[in-house]
Amino acid sequence: MFWLLAILAYLLGSLSFAILLSRLTGNPDPRMSGSGNAGATNMLRLVGKKLAILTLLGDLFKGLLPVLIAGVAGLSLQDQAWIGVCAVIGHLFPLYFRFRGGKGVATAAGMLLGLYPPAALLAVCAWLLTFYLTRTSSLAALIATPLTLPLLAWQEPAALLPMSALTGLIVWRHRGNLRDLFAGRERHF
């Protein structure tokens, strides 16, 4: 059951709502425009709030649904977390779009919402506060994601290893943003 759900989570995660919505509305591929990222922030820059919100909700959903299904199937919390990681990996490296996806932040938030809602709430609050103060989405993601680890270690230690691995992947996917942040070139809203 674990492996079946892990594969299905990856395939669901591979659906890129940014790319699909861009194609459906005749807008440019977000991987070729703006920041080059297939995610809600780049969609906001390129095509506005409506499609950005739809992208965000789709990306959240594809992280949430596999975790909820794994929970209903009776899998352990750690297995649920690894299945959520598979959904995020699908977002990062989508099978349907030549393995060029987004950065996984919204899908990881959906995963956290399914695993342990207080951690998702902490991440969202940290992201919102950092974004409000800096107007920089990448910095908000780089601060919010690791902040969940101490809470998980304390409340849900079974999810700590998968979420630590996922945090490493998200930071790695933001390596270009990190370079731009340190060089003072990162895009702000």
Range of the domain at 147: 2-183
Tell me whether residue 106 is in a domain.
Answer: yes
CA–CA dist 92, 85 (Å, integer): 10
Tell me whether residue 153 is in a domain.
Answer: yes
Tell me whether residue 188 is in a domain.
Answer: no
Tell me whether residue 189 is in a domain.
Answer: no
**Number of folded domains in the chain?**
1
Tell me whether residue 148 is in a domain.
Answer: yes
Residues whose CB falls within 8 Å of the CB of residue 123, separated by 6 or more in sequence, listed in order: 108, 109, 112, 144, 145, 147, 148
Output the tens digit of pLDDT for each of the chain's 189 residues.
999 999 999 999 999 999 999 999 999 899 998 888 899 999 999 999 999 999 999 999 999 999 999 999 999 999 999 999 999 999 999 999 889 889 999 999 999 999 999 999 999 999 999 999 999 999 999 999 999 999 999 999 999 999 999 999 999 999 999 999 898 888 878
Determine the residue type at 21: L
